Structure 1
């Protein structure tokens, strides 16, 4: 990993900087990731938050960064390898064979954040936040690396497949052999862009998305990647025993199907929120579940009035579990 990150002005504008870095996993392979930070002159290093995006996605939500820095946090986001700013032309977009392959770059990001403190100051307390597949990755990382993150916030984490655990087990049985022998083979699934349609300003949403970093139909689903997700979900189903406080935020309802329907403007059109709620209970000892009526799959990309509700609930939890965490200032 580069010891002295080279920060450059980010694609989000002058208020953001990014640095690419490499981290070697347990397999010895070095992978490139990109750390993004929101600049906040004059703010102290006491607390920070690190955000992990979902699959086939990248960090673009400047409003989320401003929420955190407005409350005195340093804000960072990581575009994980094979995603967003970290995409490389010789690598398949979104692909990973084992979700633990992200561990090295997340741990490296924590080290970079800690290195930015003034000389003699303690490293900041870091809250880890993840969306969708990034939420699954964040939960698994926190369970494998106790003592590094101070709190865990999950925005519609992909903790379980639709319907029931039986769906996951059946899918794993079918995908397993292909993942072992041809892990990068593409699984042909119906293409749907309903969620993209609900958020992109190029369709019916309000968010400006770069299709190079976040393709409307997502990256191809590959056998090895799907097998890695299913294995991660199986670990969640067995219980993770995470000790730090956890907040899980989900929509009040899901909408699924092969055709667009108007309810997809105000529901999770990607995941089964009831299964997420069920699996959330097994993440750790202190879990808060917030259901946000009218929310999309990414709660913080929902309609303005819904986001206002979500941010108010998040602020209330921060006050209780982060700012008033029982430790001396």
Structure 2
């Protein structure tokens, strides 16, 4: 990681007039998709069969802030006399948002109401005056997670405590949230959670030593690191993948890393290293391999091209006393964005685990 820092961070990526590909996304990037819904109102989402609701949050140093809750409107087919399955709340990763309809439908087909939370300054919650993804303390996300869970409880009053299904940085956020809020969730399903900096403790100490002084001066300054397109190429239907990705919400290169955000993340990694002592059951899904290349190769679609899976496996057991680690052969960093046979196998593993460990499943 280079120590070169730029304070001239662009506030937002320009919105093109159209998506490069149509697919499951709307043809036009309409302005109302980046505006708040009325308080408590579900409105049609960009994804077919889904609704979204804006969650207003307290202002921060950049001004007005919101989160967005997306709901799959398909209700599970279930015996009316039976106790409903726990609803699922999905939390995305870095430079990411909810687009994976097949995954949502799989949850619904297995009996679970599906919701996806887009955190402040990501995806549907990103506004033109904001630095994408910027935050200075991961605990700030407690506000939108609590608000989203309140909505889930209102809509699913008879169901067990929700399952939190989180990916990458969202997995770190969810694990730390669960430690601070015991009993609020019934289980965690973590998809390649970012639990440590590649390079382990020495690398984390070096990163923290670099960004901590700067974060007090200008937390929105950016750290210059390589921002390769390899992972985007593995996902996007415009390259070698199968997913139609929003060009602003999931650009070719990741959002610039700000020093404030990076310090918040490494602080979270330190807490995981020290042990979270979670008491709820935790499932961690990981690929069987890691690949780092300067240029895209087919290996990126059969390995984790973002994080060190062996290091993640070691950190996973520090989350709590009921942790199951499942390695999924030929999985990408986002296990559920992998090739269809791979993500089907992974979801079968999730269902088997839930039947064994999760309350009410």
Classify the TM-score, shorter chain: over 0.9
Give 1:83's aligned residue: 122
Q: Which has the higher contact order (CA 8 A, sep 6+)?
A: 2
CA drift at 1:23: 3.0
- Aligned counterpart for 2:55 among listed residues 21, 29, 37: 21
User: Secondary structure in 1 aligned to 2:165?
Assistant: strand
Give the direction of change, closer, same or farther, for the CA distance of 1:212–1:141 in structure 2 (3 Å limit). same
Give the direction of change, closer, same or farther, for the CA distance of 1:290–1:46 in structure 2 (3 Å limit). closer
- Aligned counterpart for 2:112 among listed residues 68, 73, 91: 73
Maintained 8 Å contact 2:282/2:322: yes
Maintained 8 Å contact 2:288/2:328: yes
Maintained 8 Å contact 2:47/2:99: yes
TM-score, normalised to structure 2's length?
0.84
Counterpart-to-counterpart distance in 2, 1:113 and 1:308: 26
Maintained 8 Å contact 1:46/1:125: no
Number of equivalent positions = 319
Give 1:237's aligned residue: 273
Determine whether 1:104 maps to 2:140: no
Q: What are the residue-to-residue correspondences of 1:69-218 with 2, within 5 Å? A: 69-117=108-156, 121-122=157-158, 124-218=160-254
| Post-superposition CA distance 1:226-280 (Å, at most 9, x none) | 1111011001000001100000000000011333333212100000001100000
- Aligned counterpart for 1:221 among listed residues 228, 233, 257: 257
Give the direction of change, closer, same or farther, for the CA distance of 1:279–1:150 in structure 2 (3 Å limit). same
Counterpart-to-counterpart distance in 2, 1:78 and 1:300: 17
Determine whether 1:250 maps to 2:289: no
Q: What are the residue-to-residue correspondences of 1:18-57 with 2, within 5 Å? A: 18-24=52-58, 31-41=65-75, 45-57=84-96
Give the direction of change, closer, same or farther, for the CA distance of 1:286–1:25 in structure 2 (3 Å limit). farther
CA drift at 1:46: 4.3
Instruction: Return structure 1 stretches of 4+ with deviation > 2 angstroms.
Output: 23-27, 40-46, 121-125, 257-262, 322-325
TM-score, normalised to structure 1's length?
0.92
Counterpart-to-counterpart distance in 1, 2:91 and 2:240: 25
Counterpart-to-counterpart distance in 2, 1:54 and 1:143: 19
Tell me the C-alpha RMSD between the 2 structures: 2.0
Counterpart-to-counterpart distance in 2, 1:55 and 1:248: 18
| Post-superposition CA distance 1:11-38 (Å, at most 9, x none) | 111x1110001134999x8730000111
User: Secondary structure in 1 aligned to 2:271?
Assistant: helix
User: Secondary structure in 2 aligned to 1:158?
Assistant: coil
Determine whether 1:271 maps to 2:310: no
Counterpart-to-counterpart distance in 2, 1:51 and 1:265: 22
Q: Any stretches of 5+ residues in structure 2 without a counterpart?
A: 1-36
| Post-superposition CA distance 1:43-68 (Å, at most 9, x none) | 56542010000011100101111111
